[in-house]
Copies of this chain bind each other. A is one copy, B any other.
């Protein structure tokens, strides 16, 4: 069983870095670039319960720091497996078109869990799918009739440019993970 939402994977990924409480997790979502995930308690706490019900995380109460008990969660072995499985999914066209953010989240969370080779594979297929999609968008643009509305044409160009920027990024990132250099 795997998380049902992207939020679930995000939580799993954060908990893999270090055990945290629901409150800690809310703070991460409220204050870091991961901010576009909801930090409302109505999102986080139920999601944690779902993960726990599925046996992907386990909770334990910590009293060492203060009188106030703090319930921290950490992924189970099963949770780590689920997370790794998600991280190594192939990059599909659909992902690129509809879930670009999710792909970037996946990349971020690969840090401790995937080998350099796996990261490279990810970036390569990411770049490939992006370039293919950019080509498709360009064809769509050329297929537009001359009388097509200016607004629509420009909006299409905006999308194209954005995907192009991502493709460039992926290739640059790939060079940073070249097997030659171990650091930097």
Question: Would you call A155 and B35 a contact (CB within 8 A)?
Answer: no
A50 CB–B CB distance under 8 Å? no
Query: Of residues 135 to 183 in A, which have CB atoms within 8 Å of B's CB atoms?
Result: 140, 149-152, 154-159, 161-162, 164-166, 168-169, 173, 176-177
Binary per-residue interface labels of chain A (102-137) against chain B in the complex, 1 for a CB within 8 Å, 0 otherwise: 001001111100000001000000000000000000
Question: Would you call B97 and A36 a contact (CB within 8 A)?
Answer: yes
Beyond A165-B162, A165-B164, is A108–B152 a contact (Cβ under 8 Å)?
yes
Number of interface residues of A (CB under 8 A): 33
Top 6 A-B pairs ranked by shortest CB distance? A165-B165, A111-B151, A108-B155, A158-B169, A161-B165, A154-B173
A33 CB–B CB distance under 8 Å? yes
A interface, over-half SS:
helix
Q: Which residues of A come within 8 Å of B, CB atoms?
A: 33, 35-36, 97-98, 104, 107-111, 119, 140, 149-152, 154-159, 161-162, 164-166, 168-169, 173, 176-177
Beyond A97-B35, A140-B33, A150-B176, is A107–B155 a contact (Cβ under 8 Å)?
yes
Query: Which of the listed residues A111, A168, A169 has the most CB atoms from chain B within 10 Å of its own CB?
Result: A169
Chain B residues with CB below 8 A from A35, complex form: 97-98
